[in-house]
Every structure is written in structure tokens, then in C-alpha cells.
Amino acid sequence: MEEFENKGGPGRTELEKIGEFGLIERLTRDLPLYHKEHTLKGVGDDAAVLRIPEGHVQLVSKDLLMEGVHFDMTYCPLKHLGYKAIAVNLSDIAAMNGKPLQVLVGIGVSNRYSLEALEELYSGMRLCCERYGVDLVGGDTVSSRSGLAISVTVLGSAPEENVCYRSGAKENDLLCVSGDLGGAYAGLLLLEREKREFLANPAVQPDFKDFSYVLERQLKPEPRLDMVELLARLGVKPTSMIDVSDGLASEILHLSKDSGCGFMLYQSKIPVDAETCKALDMFKILPEVAALSGGEDYELLFTVSQADYPKIKDSREIRIIGHAVEAAQGNYMVPEQGTLIPLSAQGWQAFANRRPEEAGENGEGGEDREAGSFSE
Amino acid sequence: MEEFENKGGPGRTELEKIGEFGLIERLTRDLPLYHKEHTLKGVGDDAAVLRIPEGHVQLVSKDLLMEGVHFDMTYCPLKHLGYKAIAVNLSDIAAMNGKPLQVLVGIGVSNRYSLEALEELYSGMRLCCERYGVDLVGGDTVSSRSGLAISVTVLGSAPEENVCYRSGAKENDLLCVSGDLGGAYAGLLLLEREKREFLANPAVQPDFKDFSYVLERQLKPEPRLDMVELLARLGVKPTSMIDVSDGLASEILHLSKDSGCGFMLYQSKIPVDAETCKALDMFKILPEVAALSGGEDYELLFTVSQADYPKIKDSREIRIIGHAVEAAQGNYMVPEQGTLIPLSAQGWQAFANRRPEEAGENGEGGEDREAGSFSE
């Protein structure tokens, strides 16, 4: 994460010194455009003007992220926060099997933030836009009475016949996932523990060695746009697809409901990285529990027809973790031995004061974990 | 405003009772689609899927509105707030000379709000969508630590050759505005006075008779999409256009900067309604000052070539208020007698704690007025 290294304190310019128009101008100065043929006008008019690629339909999604709910400024550096705010939106376009082209950003910010802090946030956003070749075409900054609110809208496109909905899974389809799961949640647990220890004793230095992978999974997730390309290369169109933002269980239930089928998930096939397992073990949390209910992994969960099995079987990035069954059979995790475990959506109880108990687990994970997480 | 009448208290259902997914489902249930040929998938997947009308380019804009900054729950009923949040976004599409097709809504809300309160907010949004035939294609609701945040993204389209930017005004073009100005600000002053009196003595009933027009201008503005249709019927394409969100002065300076010209604004031609004048008089504010710096009128300010003068001269909805000059001449208001008055952008000092002094005015208007106003 070299480009995320702190370059030293840049001073502090109060926002009221430069005013709203000055601020927007400063933050959106010299924005590069990667899609000049599709972005006719970016920042600076009443609306952005875009051209959709010939023969494509448009994909649009948005997210609203609130300080203290979706992120915690105690341990989430602004540059990472900016990067993640864009990345999770790009993930929604990947989940439709599309290509993101533009983003618009709205920021609500209190006087407590300086110009330099906002520039840091924007630098993370720009970096993610650069990495994925996405144009930032709208940047609105307004004042807020308390805390930071980040609103991102992402626009993308795909040939109409390529779009993957949540609703196309059929009985006997294979249930697949990219990458591995549970890492982002393990990273969150580590960061929250450090926050508690820091609050108790600010002199203690955090001990994060050996955990760079799970921390990066939490602080700087990557949208799986490479999977969209891989699937195209393999000649596979998923029958249904969704990204894993709330946890594997919740996403499987979405596919189940929208497709009108059930799913059998094989417990032993759920991919969890070794470092993730090691971190979770410190908190006495089972890897499957983190994968099912942790969320924020931003991997792609999808179904493919059995006929496509030969095309995907040798791909290391695609794991087959289950299969679709008729709706009446329901949704279960299948252990290596013993009885089936019904899947329930822990998901995201955003309005409850406390997080739901982990399924079958009474470890440390049972505490409030709203802070530090992004929702869908 | 019959459809805005309070139908009596609907009870109170706590948000935590129904959870995030239940809430979104409840709020977005039975959403009508007015553009089935262009809205292929609305709420309910990772992204909305849209088709741009043949030969059109796409227009996209977004606004983030924060409680206590852009609106004040003391006097802004939730249904009006919902209506206005959509209306001001549609206004941005009108300002590009386009037609709005879809909106996406993100709401950040604390536990202090009930399900019924959010339904009230959504009912105002739906009403505005219905009136202007716009599809609500995304509805995200997240929790917030304090207050209400509303994020709206609007999508629209226009034939490429019809799009009006801020940048096309030429020397000698006529400067025009739709409707009348200053009313929304007069309504805000009335509401703020009532709030102060209510806080001092809650038994006092507000005396709003004779001021229904200015109150409606503030609480329930309408985007001037009728002007987009009128201009098309008249066969006039404005050379530049913007909507009046921050005040006439600020918008003229935007056109000036982006078009590379100056403007002479005739003081006596600025249209202000009689009721607006009467309300402003109570606060000892000059009508021109409210028009120049009040903002939130959401009228369209545009320039047309002199050659189009015969086409617009008989339209009662279009007022010619000035003309473009070369950039070196600057931007001035021309009084009936006396010296030219330079135009300055009071605009929107969102990050200053207090509002700028009104130009040439030291009346009651000089107090903090951040609350109750929407920015651009």
C-alpha cells in the first residue's frame, strides 16, 4: 500500500476560509477523464452529460455512508475511506456483470474537517478512479452539522444480453464465489480491539504485524472487476449474481428469494484465507461464521449452469461452494457430517442498537459492530 | 396543496422493529414505472438497469441535503421535504434543457425517526415523481448517528444538440428568466420568524394568511420543466442556461465565468411578485436584494440570441432582464438612475457560521439563515 503512506502533516486550512465554490473547485481541479468519448461534460454544470456506449444499457447504483455507522474515523484513514467509498460502488456494477464508467460524489462535512482532510479523502477517491479507469463527473460538497456523510453514485454499462440479475438462478445451477471470505470482518475485529486498547492506554502501539491481508481487506477492498473480465474470457454468463457486502448467508438468501430457488452450501467449500483463520481464532470466531455473517468482502457470488462447469473448473479464482435446489427445499449449509444448518440473514440490522448474535457462536463477536462497516 | 393535508397521526413503528431490508421493501413497495421502455430494472438489484432514449445523451446530477443545514424539521413538514428534495434535482435537468426520467434516493436516518415519518417523506417524493412522470429506481436507507441526510441522484436525457450548458452565452445575447424571484426567500423569513416566536411562546398560532404563495415557493418549489417544453414549442434553444438555486447574482456570475462574457442586469426588470414584496417589506428587505441573493427560486436563467427575440417577446413566462456584454465590461446591475452596481456572489457560504450581510441592507435578514435552505 505504498501510495497510502502518510507524507507528513500538510497543515490546516479552515473550510470557511475558502467557501463552497472554492472548495469544490479545489477538490475537482485537474480531474482526468478516461472515457472522453462517453463523458461529454463532467464537473461544472447543472448536470454531467454522458454518452452510453453503443448497444449498451446503463447501470446505476448509489450508496450513502455515514460517519459512526459505516466508518469510524478513529481507525479509518481518510485516504482509505475515499478509496473504499468508490470501490464498494464499483463492486455493485461488477455484480451486474458490467463495466463502471463514471462516479458522482456528494460529501456532507462539518467545520471540524479541514481542506487538507478533504483533499486526503479525495486523493483516495481519485486513486480508486484511476485504478479502475472511472471518471469522476460530479463533486458536490455541502456542510453538515455533525460528522461526515459520503454519497457516491456510480454509472456503468453493459451489452443488454450480458447483464446478470439476482433473479436468474435455476435448479441444479452451481453456486460459485470469487476469492475468499471473512477477511474484512477479521480486519474489523482487529481494528476495534486496537481502538479499545488505545482508548484505555493511548501509549500502546498497535501490533498489526502478520495481519496486513485482513487489514487491507477491511480498509481497502477491491471491486472484482477482474472477475467480470475473466467470466467474459471464459465465455461464461452467470445465471444470477450479487456482491458479498452483508455476508454470504444474506446474499444467498437474496439470490434464493429473487430466483425462486433454494441453495445447498457446502460448509467445507467456503474459502477462507489462512491469515483470516488465524485472526479469527484470536477472537474465538469460527471461519464459517465470519464468512456467513461478517460481510464487506466484496467478492462476487454467482450461479452458473452445470453445462458451464468445464469452463470454470480450472480457475483458481472461482470456487464452487454449493448448488441450487427447488425452492421448497429451502437454504441450508451442509456440514461434512451431521444435520443441515438453516441459513439465516444476520445481514445488517442497521437500526438495532446491538448486532444480532452470531449463528451458533457466543464469542467476542457478539458486541456492537455497527461502526466500521459499509452496508450494501 | 390539498394532497399535503395532514391525515391525522398514523402511530409510530420503530425502525429497529422492521430492520433495514424490511424498511426498504416497505418504502419502495408498489412503485409505479412511467418509462417502462427506459427503466428495465428499478429497485431491488445491485444496480438499476436503464435504456437511454435513442439518439439522446444522458444527464446526471445529484444533491446531498443535511438536516439543520439544508432543512429545518421545526417548520419543514416531511412530505414537503420529500417533494422538494426531488423537485430541486429535477430542476438541474431542466437547467440542461433536458427531460428527467429516473431518480435514486439514499436516506440516512436516526432511530429518532419512525417508519411512519419515513413513509411521509417518501410520500412527498412519490408525489413529485408522479407529477413529473419520473421513475424512482433506487432506494437505499441507512442508519445515521444524528439527524436526517437525504441524497438524491437524478437521471435524464436530451438529444445531444438540445443540451444547454452554462458556457454558450455570446455578447449581445438577451438575458432571460422564467417566473418571478425572491419568493422562496420571503417564505423562509416568515417561517424563521414563526419559529422564533414559537420557541418564545408555544401557545401562539402562526399567522400565515395572505402568504400562501411565498410559503409554497419555499416549502414546495416546482422545477420549470414546463419551460423546457415551452422553449421547444417556441423553437428557441438558449445559448446558455442555469437554474436559480443560490440567487440571481450568483447564477449570473456562473454564466459570465463559464461563457467568458459580462452581463448588464436591468434593476427595474427583475420580476418580483406583489405578495413577495409585501412579505419582504415586513423585514425591511428590498425586493432586488431577495432576488439577487435569496436563492431557492428554482427558476431558469438563460440567454437567447437577439435573433430569437420575436419568438419570446410575447411569452408571459419569460422576462428579459438584461443582456450580455464583453467580458472586460464586467457584471453590473443597471438602476433606473445613478451609477452601476457591481454584482457579487453572496451565494452560499455553507461553511461560514453566519450568513454574509445582504448587499446594501442591514435588516433582519442579516441573521444566520443556513437552516431551511437547499443548496445547488
CA angle, A275 then A280 then A282, to 5°:
105
Torsion from C-alpha of A187, A131, A255, A70, nearest 10 degrees: 40
CB contact under 8 A, A96 and B46: yes
Rounded mean pLDDT of B280-303? 96
Interface of A with B in 25-64 (CB under 8 A): 40-41, 44-52, 57-64
The grid coordinates listed for A291 are 464468512
User: C-alpha angle with apex A376: B147 to A263, nearest 5 degrees?
Assistant: 140
How high is the pLDDT of residue B368? 36
If contacts are CB pairs under 8 Å, which of residues 168-227 in chain B contact chain A? Answer: none
**Are A57 and B50 within 8 A, CB to CB?**
yes
Q: Where are the beta strands (DSSP E) in chain B?
A: 39-41, 48-50, 56-66, 99-109, 135-143, 149-159, 174-178, 240-243, 261-266, 300-304, 318-326, 331-334, 341-342
**A1 pLDDT tier (thresholds 50, 70, 90):** low
pLDDT at residue number B363:
35
Under an 8 A CB cutoff, do A140 and B165 touch? no
Of B66, B138, B370, the CB nearest to A149: B66
Rounded distance between C-alpha atoms, residue B328 and residue B179, angstroms: 30
Residues A88-133 pLDDT 10s: 999 999 999 999 999 999 999 998 899 999 999 999 999 999 999 9
pLDDT the model gives residue B221 = 97
pLDDT beyond 80 at A37: yes
- Cross-chain residue pair A108–B163, CB shorter than 8 Å: no
Contact A164, A305 (CB under 8 A): no
pLDDT of residue A206: 72
pLDDT band at A140 (very low <50, low <70, confident <90, very high): confident
Q: What is the pLDDT of residue B208?
A: 78
Is the distance from CB of A262 to CB of A331 less than 8 angstroms?
yes
- Decide if A1 touches B, using CB distance below 8 A: no
Q: How far, in Å, CA of A82 to CA of A88, rounded?
A: 10
DSSP per-residue letters across A123-146: HHHHHHHHHTT-EEEEEEEEE-SS
In this prediction, residue A190 carries a pLDDT of 95
Higher pLDDT: B20 or A56? It is: A56
pLDDT digits (tens, 9 = 90+) for A208-267: 778 999 999 999 999 999 999 999 999 999 999 999 999 999 999 999 999 999 999 999
- Which chain B residues touch A151 with a CB distance below 8 Å? 62, 64, 106, 149, 151
Phi-psi group of A312: left, alpha or beta (phi > 0 → left; psi -120 to 50 → alpha; rest → beta):
alpha
pLDDT at residue B351 above 50? Answer: no
Mean pLDDT over B215-220 rounds to: 96
Rounded percentage of chain A residues whose pLDDT exceeds 70: 89
Q: Which residue has the cell 479499545?
A: A196
Segment holding B15, helix H or strand E:
helix B15-27
How confident is the model at residue A360, as a pLDDT?
A: 35
pLDDT digits (tens, 9 = 90+) for A299-317: 999 999 999 999 999 999 9
| Lowest mean pLDDT segment, chosen from A7-21, A168-182, B13-27 | A7-21
Across A158-167, A349-358, B30-39, B268-277, least confident range: A349-358
Query: Taking CB atoms and an 8 Å limit, are B16 and A349 in contact across chains?
Result: yes
B98 touches chain A (CB under 8 A): yes
Give the Cα-Cα-Cα angle A35, A41, A46 (nearest 5 degrees).
Answer: 145
Mean pLDDT for the stretch of residues B262-289: 97
Report the pLDDT value the prediction gives residue A202, as an integer from 0 to 100. Answer: 82
With an 8 Å Cβ cutoff, are A138 and B375 in contact? Answer: no
Ramachandran angles phi, psi of A217, nearest 5°: -60, -40
Distance from CA of B231 to the nearest CA of A (A): 18
- Residues B280-315: b if buried by 16+ CB within 10 A, e if exposed: beebebbbbbbbbbbbbbbbbbbbbbeebeebbeeb
Please report the sign of the dihedral spanned by the C-alpha atoms of residue B209, residue B215, residue B220, residue B226. positive
Q: Confirm if B248 and B292 have CB atoms less than 8 A apart.
A: yes
Bigger pLDDT: A357 or B41?
B41
Number of Cβ within a 10 Å radius of residue A12: 10
Indicate the average pLDDT of chain B.
89
Residue of A285, A287, A300, A294 lying closest to A361 (CA atoms): A285
pLDDT class for B192, splitting at 50, 70, 90?
very high
**Confidence (pLDDT) at B5:** 63
Whether A66 and B106 lie within 8 Å, measured CB to CB: no
Give which of A273, A287, A228 is closest to A91, Cα–Cα.
A228
Give me the mean pLDDT over the B287-299 stretch.
96
Range in A343-357, B41-55, B110-124 with the lowest mean pLDDT: A343-357
What are the residues facing A61 on neighbouring strands? A154
Q: What is the mean pLDDT of residues A158-186?
A: 98
pLDDT tens digits, A214-229: 999 999 999 999 999 9
Q: pLDDT at position A198, please?
A: 84
Residue B366 pLDDT level (bands cut at 50, 70, 90): very low
Facing B351 at nearest CB: one of A19, A167, A351:
A19
Sequence length of chain B is 376
Banded pLDDT at A2 (limits 50, 70, 90): low
Of A47, A58, A60, the CB nearest to B104: A60
What pLDDT is attached to residue A17? 83
**Mean pLDDT score across all residues of chain A:** 89
Work out whether strand B135-143 and strand B99-109 pair parallel, antiparallel, or are unpaired. parallel
- Which class for B267: exposed (0-12), middle (13-18), buried (19 or more C-beta within 10 A)? buried
Report the number of secondary-structure helices (H) and strands (E) in chain B: 10, 13
